[in-house]
Amino acid sequence: MSDEGAGARAAAEEERPREEHTPDPRRWKILGVTLVVGFMSLLDVTIVNVAVPSMQEGLDTSAGTIQWVVSGYALAFGLTLVAGGRLGDAYGRRRLMLIGLTGFILSSAAVGFAPNIETVVAARLAQGATAGLLTPQNSGLIQQLFRGPERGRAFGAFGFTVSLSSALGPVLGGAIIALAGEEEGWRWLFLVNVPIGLAALVAIAVIVPGPDRRDEDTGTCIDVPGALLLGGAVLCVLFPLVSLESGALLPLVLLAGAPVLGWAFVRWEARLRRQGRPPLLDVSLLRSLPGYSTGMAIGALYFTGFTGVFLVLSVHLQGALDLTPLQAGLLVTPFAVGAAITAPISGRLVSRYGRSLTVVALVVMMTGTALTAWLAPTYGDGDIWMALVPCLFLAGVGGGGVISPNFTLTLAEVPPRMGGAAGAALQTGQRIGSSLGAALLMTTYGVAMGPFSAQGALRAALVASLVVLCAALAAAVWSQRHE
């Protein structure tokens, strides 16, 4: 296909949605059903945090291997997001959600019944990969079903779901372990997905709309070389960090391969674009759409900075202060409460205040995190709540104002026909950030345990979180000045 022909076709497709869009009267019900599924898949990123000590003991394995139960899910999740988003654009969100949810249910059951750590890690990788097919359909449906300020409110609900799932994972995990028992209770963190998932399958089949026949010719080939290059680049960063947790230094040499593979990935994607073939990630969006590249950077840095905080706190509260999984989960719940308050509000305000809202929210969240780093290590197990409850609530108030505005602003100019793939690319950065953040903060915590006490190690991990969040703030300020 010539460049002129491709340009004319793209222009025609750009005009159709604006001319023919009619709001679906069921759009809020559809969003509600898909957010329930999204909540379940995102919950599994953090719900295992409180189970790490009991899983390590029950499966008789090392801390470095157990780290793959946490980071492997986020990694596989991130690597399938873009492909899942593109397939949803082409074949329909309902079809991809049904396929993804079926795989998620089966892999959840496999983790729950796994006889050894090798099976757990393999099933968690499969679970993360199928979750990657599910999650981009949320942002794709929002792009497809909502317009104008209503889209900001829809992304506000999505941001609320992301914040809530991240923060409630530890407390729900602790509650399940408390009910099912310390020894085998971790298995029920995954088995509970089975009945909920089966009910969601029925709801999706009934209410989520099928594919739009007009868009079936948008290209459905998956860029396998691009996926391998991107996966290799991410692994070159993630594997050394995870290995460092168990004391292995040799994998650090792989870090040298990350920029090489990243450069090759960008060149390959640009080449496919010039040839008129569908890339895994249309890198031209990073140049052609204002705010898209900075929005991706903000999202990736934010998730790198904050996701690992819950894991470090859970491990510290149980390991150093001898709290139960439920107690540890309850102590991080104030973050969810704060995020629950501000996420929907920020979705309504983003169209008025733009990127300034993200800047203010990041400052508030970083203030709460800094106070946690300063105060939490000075309290013992009996009064630790005096530091964590107010500080994490303040951090949650800020965190709830970051995610949904960033989605709305980053995808504001993306055509609905590309909503799934573009939204998935944004979420890919977030998932990779989550995986890197968990490895980075846990590695910092583990390394600092040598020269410092557990309290000093906690402070060091939280300071590492603040350093990454500072980078996110710098990107947000830059974006604000160039709006």
**Residue carrying structure tokens 């729900």:** 172
Q: How many helices (H) and strands (E) does the chain have?
A: 21, 0
Q: Over the range 371-382, which residues count as b (16 or more CB within 10 Å of their CB) and which as e?
A: bbbebbbeeeee
Q: What's the pLDDT at 50?
A: 73
3-state secondary structure of 40: helix
Q: What is the dihedral of CA 223, 227, 228, 229, to 10 degrees?
A: 100
Q: What's the pLDDT at 23?
A: 73
What CA–CA distance (Å, rounded) separates 339 from 323?
25
For the chain, domain boundaries: 26-211+280-481, 224-279
Q: What's the pLDDT at 13?
A: 41
What CA–CA distance (Å, rounded) separates 216 from 229?
27
Classify residue 163 by burial, with Cβ atoms within 10 Å: 0-12, 13-18, 19+: buried
Q: What's the pLDDT at 368?
A: 96
Q: What's the pLDDT at 100?
A: 92
Listing DSSP states for 147-206 in one string gives -THHHHHHHHHHHHHHHHHHHHHHHHHHHHHHHH-TTTGGGHHHHTHHHHHHHHHHHHHH
Q: What's the pLDDT at 437?
A: 84
Query: Domain 26-211+280-481 belongs to what topology?
Result: Growth Hormone; Chain: A; (1.20.1250)
What CA–CA distance (Å, rounded) separates 110 from 104?
10
pLDDT in tens, the chain (483 residues): 444 444 433 443 444 444 455 777 888 888 888 888 888 888 887 788 677 777 887 787 776 677 778 777 877 777 788 778 877 877 788 889 999 999 999 999 999 998 888 899 899 999 989 998 888 888 778 877 887 778 878 888 887 787 777 667 777 888 888 888 777 788 898 998 999 899 989 989 888 877 655 444 445 566 778 878 877 887 787 677 666 655 667 777 888 998 999 899 888 888 887 887 777 777 776 676 767 888 888 988 998 898 788 889 988 888 888 888 778 878 888 988 898 888 888 888 888 888 899 999 999 999 999 999 999 888 877 788 898 999 999 999 998 889 888 888 887 777 666 666 677 778 777 777 877 787 789 888 988 987 788 889 999 999 999 999 999 999 999 988 876
- Asked if residues 101 and 46 have their Cβ atoms less than 8 Å apart, the reply is no
Q: What's the pLDDT at 469?
A: 96
Q: Which of 10, 110, 126, 26 is CA-nearest to residue 77? A: 126
Q: What's the pLDDT at 17?
A: 43
Q: What's the pLDDT at 260?
A: 94
C-alpha distance from residue 79 to each of 115, 159, 231, 445, 470 (Å): 27, 21, 6, 27, 26
